[in-house]
Amino acid sequence: MKDEAIKQLMNREVERQNRGIELIASENYPSKDVREACSSIFMAKYAEGYPGKRYYGGCETVDEMETLSIERAKALFRCRYANVQPHSGSQANFAAYRAMLNPGDKVLSLALNDGGHLTHGSPVSFSSADYTFVHYDLGNDGRLDLEIIKRRLHEEKPRLFLAGYSAYPFAIDFAAMRKIIDDYNAQAETPCLFMVDMAHIAGIVAAGLCQNPCDYADAVTSTTHKTLRGPRGGLILTNREDLAKKINFAVFPYSQGGPLEHIIAGKAVCFLEDSKPEFRAYMQLVLDNTKACCDELMKLGCVCSGTENHLFLLDVLSSFGINGKEAQERLGEIDITANKNMIHGDTLPPQQASGVRFGFAAATTRGCTKEDAKEIAHIIYDALKGEADKQKLISRVQSIVSRWKNVLELEA
């Protein structure tokens, strides 16, 4: 690297990530093989279109590579069709909506304050500008309530029901949702389609540790960089041939031009890595570590959501009398990275929030154990309680990460 300014920034970021504990639930560390694919010569090739139907010459090799990526995605998630071109999860959602909806159509999704995503109807997102979003809430226990969903479905009569969550810590019964929609459609004048945004739980799905939404939904979208541990990018899956054609058109030429073939190569590597038994073992450890940390915090008297996946929510307002923004900053000062997050029934605005979201996918990739996760819970508790010496907390963090792998030396 001859650009000294960028080189210095890269080195600083490597040092920051190696020094700290990454607990943002949407982050992870790709393997050296994934990073090598993403920095390959594929980045130099313009390849508008799809394998065998390109608008440029010289695409013979990228056609083979993208086809391989598609086939690996289909095998990993056990579905018939896959589009690996979306640049991000948001663009995957954009294309999926376009394939299934007309402008202004109604979509029923989880209330954003209860864990929905920006592209699930936020006022600042294209989603609310292009479509009419209405919402269902979680039950009083902070869990999905199928009776609420059924009632809202009949009240609103949407064209699309969306199951997809960025801060939901429990297992999701996609089969039960499918039955509710089928029962509704048996009486409805206009049938309701079913879409799942599995961006957060895609790795759990790939490992076979939860229900596969591809078995139940008309379309499934995802990112590839969270629990899948691949490059930053998007993915759309379906078992419907008619919908697959619409999805392909909605991605290209409707919303994107040339695909990022180097990122698609990284996705192919990731899909192969995620098909191995080692990945299933990793994903199980992510679940175990997340639960260990959450349970330990509750033993210490904290108000937590509980967890059945890779993340949980800590109510810092009830537990420590501080808001999520302040909690995030306190943890950042001792090299623990997390993010403020609204919780069910939150009374604070999203800029402050009453909670913090924690996830263990990234930490587990580096080598976090259940004992480490329990110790991390005690460090979080001491930091947020505000009575411990900051330098001592940093030393405790360093003691843990000293046993972990370097972020640039990670194998699959």
Q: Locate the DSSP E strands across 258-395.
A: 303-304, 311-315, 336-337, 339-341, 355-359
| pLDDT of amino acid 262 | 98
3-state secondary structure of 287: helix
Question: Which residue in 96, 86, 61 sits closest to 259, CA to CA?
Answer: 86
Q: Token pair of 189, please?
A: 């004048």
Alpha-carbon distance 141 to 284, whole Å? 25
Q: Are 80 and 74 in contact, with CB atoms under 8 Å apart?
A: yes
Tokens 């509704």 belong to 184
Peptide bond into 277 cis (omega under 30): no
Q: Are 262 and 245 in contact, with CB atoms under 8 Å apart?
A: no
| pLDDT of amino acid 365 | 98
Given the DSSP bridges, would you call strands 21-22 and 336-337 parallel, antiparallel or unpaired?
parallel
Mean pLDDT by 10 residues, the chain (412 residues): 96 97 97 97 97 96 98 98 97 96 96 80 82 94 96 97 94 98 95 97 98 98 97 98 98 96 98 98 98 98 97 98 98 98 92 97 98 98 94 97 95 84
Question: Which residue in 24, 12, 29, 11 sits closest to 337, CA to CA?
Answer: 24
180, HSE (Cβ side, Cα atoms, 13 Å): 21
- Neighbour-count burial of 240, counting CB atoms closer than 10 A to its CB (0-12 exposed, 13-18 middle, 19+ buried): middle
Alpha-carbon distance 387 to 380, whole Å? 12
| pLDDT of amino acid 263 | 98
Q: Are 266 and 35 in contact, with CB atoms under 8 Å apart?
A: yes
Q: Token pair of 209, please?
A: 């540790």
Residue 227 β-bridge partners: none
| pLDDT of amino acid 118 | 77
174, HSE (Cβ side, Cα atoms, 13 Å): 22
Residue 313 β-bridge partners: 357
Q: Token pair of 100, please?
A: 């299934």
Q: Are 22 and 368 in contact, with CB atoms under 8 Å apart?
A: no
3-state secondary structure of 21: strand
- What sign has the CA pseudo-torsion 287, 288, 290, 294? positive
Give the predicted TM-score (pTM) of the model.
0.96
Q: Are 298 and 58 in contact, with CB atoms under 8 Å apart?
A: no
Angle at 122 between CA 116 and CA 125, to 5 degrees: 125
228, HSE (Cβ side, Cα atoms, 13 Å): 29
Question: Which residue in 398, 406, 360 sits closest to 20, CA to CA?
Answer: 398
Q: Are 310 and 206 in contact, with CB atoms under 8 Å apart?
A: no
| pLDDT of amino acid 387 | 86
Q: Token pair of 375, please?
A: 């110790």
Task: Tell me the catalytic residues.
Answer: 46, 48, 197, 223, 226, 232
| pLDDT of amino acid 117 | 79
> Rounded to 5, what percent of the chain is helix, strand, coil?
50, 15, 40
Residue 163 β-bridge partners: 196
Residue 226 β-bridge partners: none
- Provide the angle, in degrees to the nearest 10, between the axes of the packed helices 60-77 and 261-274: 30
The pair phi, psi for residue 327, each rounded to 5°, is: -65, -45
Task: Give, as one character, the DSSP assignment of residue 270.
Answer: H
Length of the chain: 412
